[in-house]
Amino acid sequence: MFKEREAAHLAAAMLGKAGGRLNVLKLTKLLYLVERESMRRHGFQVSDDQMVSMPKGPVLSQTLDLTNGFGISEEWDRLIEDREQHDVRLRGEIVREDLSALSDATVSIVDAIWAEFGVMNQWDLVKFTHDKCAEWEDPNGSSNPIPAKRVFIANGIPSDEAELMAKEVASQKYFDALFEDVDG
């Protein structure tokens, strides 16, 4: 189940690293790389967003919708301005307390991804995700889901272990959905 609060906090954290403003395509690639790294390090995503292959590389489906103004999220709107042309901006300065949905471990992943990829422009990141994210498959002008198992394997996890980890991710999403129904 998609965790929009975590997605908003991830985007705000990355925008904060960039000085408050980023190209939309660059932001979407950086956020994908954060989630991919979270899966490598911890075995799960932060936002539980659906990973999909799109023509310009892998993206987080619902986060992309929020970035493009197609979703509704009070937390996103509180932190991030509506997209203007090809850029996304923070509404104001961000401090660590504004990102309470993110653990320190997640913030360290944001820091690491920014340190490695922040200097790249959006087209460098498109090329990188095409060339180095083996889970991405050209959807021929459409979009296709990227299964968790494929991300784990692309991150160097053996197939049998990746299968177990993917099942664990699916189970957690199922239980999250059950508890959401009870709480909601």
pLDDT tier, 1 (very low <50, low <70, confident <90, very high otherwise):
confident
Residue 24 belongs to some domain of the structure? yes
Residue 170 belongs to some domain of the structure? no
Closest listed residue to residue 10, CA positions, set 106, 105, 148, 141: 106
Residue 37 belongs to some domain of the structure? yes
Residue 158 belongs to some domain of the structure? no
Which pTM does this prediction carry? Answer: 0.93
Residue 168 belongs to some domain of the structure? no
pLDDT tens track for 81-119 = 877 788 999 999 999 999 999 999 999 999 999 999 999
pLDDT tens track for 51-63 = 999 999 999 999 9
- Count the domains in the chain: 1
Residue 174 belongs to some domain of the structure? no
Residue 160 belongs to some domain of the structure? no
Q: Range of 41's domain?
A: 4-147
Residue 53 belongs to some domain of the structure? yes
